[in-house]
Amino acid sequence: MHFRKLIFRRIIEVMAIFFLILTGLFLLFHLSPGDPVSRMVQPGMSAEDASMLISQLGLDQPLWLQYLYYVKNFFTGNFGISFHYGQPVIHIIGRRLPNTILLFTTSVILSAAAGVFWGKLVAWYKGRPIDTWVTILALVCHTLFLPWIALLFIWIFAYHVGWFPLNGMITPEVWINPSAGFLTKAADIGHHMLLPLLTLFIIHVGSYLLIMRSSMLETLKEDYILTARAKGLSEKRVRNRHAAPNAYLPVVTSIGLSLAFSINGGALTETVFSWPGIGRELIFAVSNNDYPLALACFLFISLVVLVANVIVDVLYAYLDPRIRY
């Protein structure tokens, strides 16, 4: 019962926060200095065309009425038409969001799995050479500047060596070939994804390793670990069945939040590698004054971050019963 109350309370809190974000973005886009039309269209528009556009967009209505239409349009999935593409914004988001989720979910899962494994191992061998060297390597990875390492990888492995494509997500020649099957196309996507995936893996694995190491060291000081050893259990069983599961809690929080904020901050990665995701689309929309598309990208990213927070809270409460009460 307490667990259900916790979930319900978290959902209500997230809905309230998202409503504030929705309102804040509306005010940001509508109350910023300057004429909204002049920010949305190319210069040189006639006064008649500008007046017609203002009427079509509803900008001649009172602000409170514009806000009601804005909220209604969001909940009905009507984000307007992209100025650049001339297509419904929801269709553009629907094409780009799966690409972002594919890249960043894969990178978080792989880096978290490796970081948890090595963090658990080096904590168990604290003070030995493996602990020292792996921890130093994790600190180096954690402090690397993403654009620098991404451009370095492109320069070495894509430009000079030629092992990977320079940019994009697919090879057009492969996808227009009628004889190319599902496995061929999937392999083509995987080939394009390897370099950005490697970059994200190196950037994130260090933080997971350090968090797991710290949590594991704290767990190993607990009395129940001493009791498990006193029972004559093997060191491997004490490490994997008693210490590690309780050390996972901070890592679960880190994984959930990093997945959300990786998608949120993925614009830089997607831009460097020309990966057709929602982050790259956001930068393009802002740069080209495509405000309906930019607004929708902001809203979807905010929604992903908030949902990830709810999932993390629920998982944390499930893994640690003390939080439910």
Please say if the pLDDT value at position 202 is more than 70: yes
Average model confidence (pLDDT) across the chain: 78
Spatial separation of the C-alpha atoms in residues 228 and 24, rounded to whole Å: 53
Q: What is the mean pLDDT of residues 198-203?
A: 88
Check whether residue 45 and residue 177 sit in a common domain: no
Domain assignment present for 142:
yes
- Specify if 80 maps to a domain: no
Same domain, 162 and 295: yes
Q: What is the pLDDT of residue 47?
A: 66
d(CA 55, CA 39): 16
CB 267 within 8 A of CB 282: yes
Q: Could you identify the residue written with the tokens 């990875």?
A: 141
User: How much of the chain exceeds pLDDT 70, in percent?
Assistant: 84
Q: Is the pLDDT assigned to residue 102 strictly greater than 80?
A: yes
* pLDDT tens-digit readout, 255-303: 776 766 666 557 788 888 888 888 888 888 877 777 778 888 888 888 8
* Position 82 in a domain: no
Note whether 112 and 257 are same-domain residues.
Answer: yes
Sign for the CA dihedral angle at 23, 25, 31, 35 comes to: negative
What φ, ψ does residue 88 adopt, rounded to 5°?
-60, 135
Q: Which residue has the tokens 């209500």?
A: 12
Split at pLDDT 50, 70, 90, the class of 46 is: low
Could you tell me which residues come within 8 angstroms of residue 249 by beta carbon, excluding any fewer than 6 positions away?
215, 316, 319, 320
Residue 84 lies in a domain: no
Indicate whether 302 belongs to any domain. Answer: yes
Q: Are residues 304 and 160 in the same domain?
A: yes
pLDDT > 80? residue 238: no
The pLDDT confidence band at residue 128, using thresholds 50, 70 and 90, is: confident
Residue 63 neighbours by CB distance under 10 Å? 12
Whether pLDDT at 198 is above 80: yes
pLDDT at 40: 56
Question: Tens digit of pLDDT for each residue in 103-113?
Answer: 888 888 898 88
141-195 pLDDT per residue, tens: 888 888 888 888 888 888 888 888 887 777 777 777 777 777 888 888 888 888 8
pLDDT at position 324 is 55
The answer to whether residues 41 and 188 belong to one domain is no
Residue 61 and residue 243: Cα distance in Å, rounded? 62
Three-class SS of residue 81?
Answer: strand
Q: Are residues 167 and 119 in the same domain?
A: yes
Q: Is the pLDDT of residue 234 over 60?
A: yes
- pLDDT band of 50, cuts 50, 70, 90: low
Long-range pairs of 45-52 with CB within 8 A, sequence gap ≥ 24: none
pLDDT confidence band for 78 (50 / 70 / 90): confident
> How far apart are the C-alpha atoms of 210 and 135, rounded to whole Å?
7
Counting residues of the chain whose pLDDT is more than 90, the rounded percentage is 0
What pTM was estimated for this model as a whole? Answer: 0.78
Q: What are phi and psi of 262, to 5 degrees?
A: -70, -45
Q: Which range is least confidently modeled, 1-10, 105-114, 118-127? A: 1-10
In this predicted structure, the answer to whether residue 123 has a pLDDT above a threshold of 70 is yes
User: So what's the pLDDT on residue 53?
Assistant: 65
Domain containing 68 equals: 2-75
pLDDT score recorded for residue 106: 87
Measured between alpha carbons, how far is residue 280 from residues 74, 151, 264, 272, 273 in Å? 22, 16, 11, 9, 10
Residues 104 and 200 in one domain: yes
Tell me: pLDDT of 98 over 80: yes
24-42: per-residue pLDDT in tens? Answer: 887 877 665 555 555 555 5
What whole-number distance in Å separates Cα of residue 178 and Cα of residue 163? 25
Task: Work out the average pLDDT over 308-318.
Answer: 76
Query: Is there a single domain that holds both residue 135 and residue 18?
Result: no
Structure tokens at 181: 């099957």
DSSP secondary structure, 120-151, as one string: HHHHHTTTSHHHHHHHHHHHHHHH--HHHHHH
- Domain total of the chain: 2
Whether residue 69 has pLDDT greater than 70: yes
Q: Is residue 113 located within the same domain as residue 255?
A: yes
Q: Is 273 within the bounds of a domain?
A: yes
Q: What is the pLDDT of residue 60?
A: 65
DSSP string, 167-220: S-S--HHHHT-TT--HHHHHHHHHHHHHHHHHHHHHHHHHHHHHHHHHHHHHHT
Q: Provide CB contacts within 8 A for 43, sequence distance 6+.
A: none
Point out the least confidently predicted range of 73-82, 90-99, 244-253, 274-283.
Answer: 244-253
Is 145 found in the same domain as 10? no
Helix (H, G, I), strand (E, B) or coil at 88: strand
Q: Assign 3 a pLDDT band (cuts: 50, 70, 90).
A: low
Name which of 74, 76, 92 is nearest 19 in CA terms: 74
